[in-house]
Amino acid sequence: MPSLLSEPCCLNHKDERKVRVGDRMVSNYSEDYRRYCEAKMVEKMKPKAQAIWLSKVLEKRGKDAYQQLKNELDNRLHVVNRV
């Protein structure tokens, strides 16, 4: 059974589509996709800006959100290094 986080939100979006995140297909309205896009944006930042962004996530959204974003960034880094 898929994680609830990979499910789309409860609203009916006419422009909803499935997108590939890693080896999975998820809704473009899912939390997984939002995290993927945020990590993609943070990954492009300079190291100091990344550190500031991550500290703000920790401050405003808490330890779990911080760790999820950090994990997503680490996963993206491993994928890039494998190619």
- CA–CA distance, 17 with 10 (Å, rounded to integer): 14
Determine the pLDDT at residue 21: 83
Tokens encoding 56: 């703000």
Question: What residue has token string 């890693």?
Answer: 22
Question: What residue has token string 């809704």?
Answer: 27
Q: In sequence order, what are the residues at sequence separation of 6 or more whose Cβ sits closer than 8 angstroms to the Cβ of residue 57? A: 65, 66, 69
Residue 2, pLDDT above cutoff 70:
no
Work out the pLDDT band at 7, boundaries 50, 70, 90: low
Mean pLDDT throughout 29-34?
A: 89
The answer to whether the predicted template modeling score (pTM) of the entire model surpasses 0.75 is: no
Determine the pLDDT at residue 67: 96
- Is the pLDDT higher at 71 or at 1? 71
CA 50 to chain centre: 14
